[in-house]
Chains A and B, each alone.
Chain A
């Protein structure tokens, strides 16, 4: 396939350009993995793109669908993929053969910046840098199941898994939510694969009180994270049903001081707390589980091959999470650097037009869509300017004299340093939250548009900064997906699965929710429920294997 046959398809002419651009990128301070370029024709590139950049993936019809869509929009001239780059070490990048030389230069500069971002942004820190190999292994495993159980059966099962693909805990890789003694199911980042540094920076691992550890179910962040837990229960190993044993720890005291050092009200409150926690320990899962896929991998009644496929889907979903989390930043960063490397170093006079044409094409967009390339680029430029001129901090924020603000220049020259710091520490949500300013919105002419029910016209609704920012942020939160958690794996004591949608003002797409439940039922095999809010009312949507129904909750 592309990867093997194209390994030698990198002409000398491009190689020279590559070295030149690589040197410039390094001189600017970018820090990247080794980048391997390959030149593909449009069919090969579309194919690689359909597989999200990976040459070897498991067989599934949706890749064929994506390929069809890409080739269609390519041949109608609606869109064109110039490049594809993979977060991997070494970093693989694909160039389109028919691009002219200027395009190739621009794309290479763009790729080096992407690669720098992959390597240095914190949210990518826990991704598998040997994912090309890992994906190929997944492909092999699934292919074996296909050979054994048949395409239709395996593919139908993959469809079910993909239907739940977005029900993962986006912060899982960086937060240790469970006790480390407890073996995880085939989790993505702690298997024997690749140089993972999983859990190094985890702060939630501080020793928990033994009372919950000895119940044999491990520490939950919910139960050990609270402040002021230090006193209770240390040294006790009570049985679950042993009422006598529910005693909070007392401080040692002389008899006459007892009531002062260990006030009875306090002891009583602690007893209640311990009892509540004991109660909670009996629940399943103990606290709501955001990582629905993991919960299913561990507890759904699956065949072994099914469990394996589900964990593969989960692992791949986690791999792509950081890319979703940093779309604006990643593209903004790459665009910032391609424009600097090109305009300051590489461009020759005769190439200016083609460069400008390409660059403006990338930055352009319709009035109804914020182009992430454009938004990211402008934000990075804005940050650079603000930190160069010292336009930040209390003094600047509180200055209300427009003339002074506009001429504000402390000549600090901190811009470069700042943007490198930003690319390391932020994701899209924190990036927009911190750096999207009122001035920026006005300069970029952002607005909120909306339309009335039944009126087909979209109308500019407001240019208020708060509304714009809130709307952008709500679209980025949780990758624009609803937050859904498992509440109870033994609902009504009948082994049914109860989930909860944390409603934040937007209803679920209803027919999709019903169909997703149908797929979930195929995995769980018992009735499944999700509680949500529909048109202002709290409801429980259920699917029992035959039909779905909605029940209003009080």
Chain B
């Protein structure tokens, strides 16, 4: 029923230009944190100031005229752009152009750039999920879902029409017929599921720089895998000499110290798989980041556990970042001692430019 509209041509041009701009900037995005925190459930918001048509115009003035109560000296608002680093403050109302892309689109551009093959999900049964979505207003429903504003308005309207509204005593009494409720619809969605298990070394030798590398890499891994599966869960494990499961906030911000026992992380990971994510139902993606400085007596045990872990997973990825005291030996150990090379992927992430190659190595297998 949709007619072809004039605007469709212009929109297509716009989309094409956006895509081109994102694509030409993808290497920059890959190695910089600009997009982190900009991903919602389905969409990524990408700042693209270069798309704005440049004109001669004024820079910031740092003042404006407002309206309302208050005395000189009272705060009126906090400039959301001023937090953190960067240029302090822009004008209220001045905004940089942000375009929204679906995660699929972004992942596709990333895949084009990195030449990633699409993943064939393993033959798992599909899980059907129920989803409730609020879609409208109904005249009946549970009290807990009552829509206050609509109910109030309805009551007020009725009172005015029937002449029972008294401006001197503007109390509004809703009766049963006035009540309005939020209503929802349930939908079923088939899902092929995946779980990403991130493991990170937080021993003393892993500093903020290293964690930033992990954070960026994981952002793009997420983006890619989310685009390939309908349901993706993420779990986080940190370890030094001991390992534990944490939430994502803790994962990226914990500062620990002490030695490194990699086997501890693999143990927790295996337990997780055994208890919650059976390989029958899930595509499992463990990623491990470390500076490779493992206790020597632990190598043996870690490899043993790895032998157990790898068959359960689609792929197992090990990223070695350059730590404060240089790079460790664990990378070499995996490379030389592990038989099943097909499923174990390793990469050295020396700096932000290394992310590009790491992603290519991890995701380039199409599993």
- A interface list, Cβ under 8 A from B: 1, 5, 47, 50-51, 55-56, 59-65, 67-68, 72, 151, 155, 159, 162-167, 349-350, 352-354, 357, 365-371, 374, 444-451, 453-463, 468, 471-472, 475, 480-482, 484, 501, 506-513, 515-516, 519, 530
Contacts and interface: CB of A to CB of B under 8 A. Distances in A.
Contacts of B163: 349
Nearest to A530: B56
B78 A457 contact: yes
A459 B74 contact: yes
Given A162-B53, A471-B63, A471-B64, A453 B88 contact: yes
Interface stretch (B107-115, B152-160, B261-269): B152-160
Contact of A458 (B68, B78, B88): B78
A512 B56 contact: yes
Contact of A456 (B65, B67, B78): B78
B66 A482 contact: no
B100 interface: yes
A457 B78 CA distance: 4
Nearest to B84: A456
Interface string B66-85: 11111111111111101100
Contacts of A65: 14, 51, 97
A64 B15 contact: yes
A167 B72 CA distance: 38
Contact of B10 (A1, A64, A352): A64
B73 A456 contact: no
B65 A447 contact: yes
B53 A62 contact: yes
Decide if the interface of chain A is mainly helix, strand, loop or mixed. mixed
A374 B66 CA distance: 12
Interface in B1-50: 3, 5-7, 9-17
Residue among A167, A451, A482, A510 having the largest count of chain B Cβ atoms under 10 Å:
A451
A350 B161 contact: yes
B79 A457 contact: yes
B142 interface: no
A371 B64 CA distance: 13
A241 B57 CA distance: 42
A506 B59 CA distance: 7
A33 B286 CA distance: 70
A539 B272 CA distance: 65
Contact of A512 (B10, B55, B75, B88): B55
Residue among A63, A350, A365, A449 having the largest count of chain B Cβ atoms under 10 Å:
A449
A369 to B, nearest CB: 7
Contact of B71 (A370, A456, A460): A460
Residue among A159, A350, A368, A457 having the largest count of chain B Cβ atoms under 10 Å:
A368
Contact of B65 (A55, A352, A471, A508): A471
A209 B62 CA distance: 49
Contacts of B88: 453-456
Contact of B72 (A64, A166, A462, A481): A462
Contacts of B79: 451, 456-458
B92 interface: yes
Contact of B56 (A1, A368, A513): A513
Contacts of A455: 82, 88
Interface in B132-181: 153, 156-157, 160-161, 163
B66 to A, nearest CB: 5
B123 interface: no
Contacts of A1: 5-6
Contact of A64 (B11, B63, B65, B71): B11
A210 to B, nearest CB: 38
A369 B76 CA distance: 11
Contacts of A461: 63, 72
Given A1-B6, A456-B79, A511-B54, 15 more contacts: A67-B10, A68-B11, A72-B100, A163-B54, A166-B56, A367-B66, A368-B92, A369-B92, A449-B63, A451-B63, A457-B77, A458-B76, A460-B70, A481-B56, A512-B57
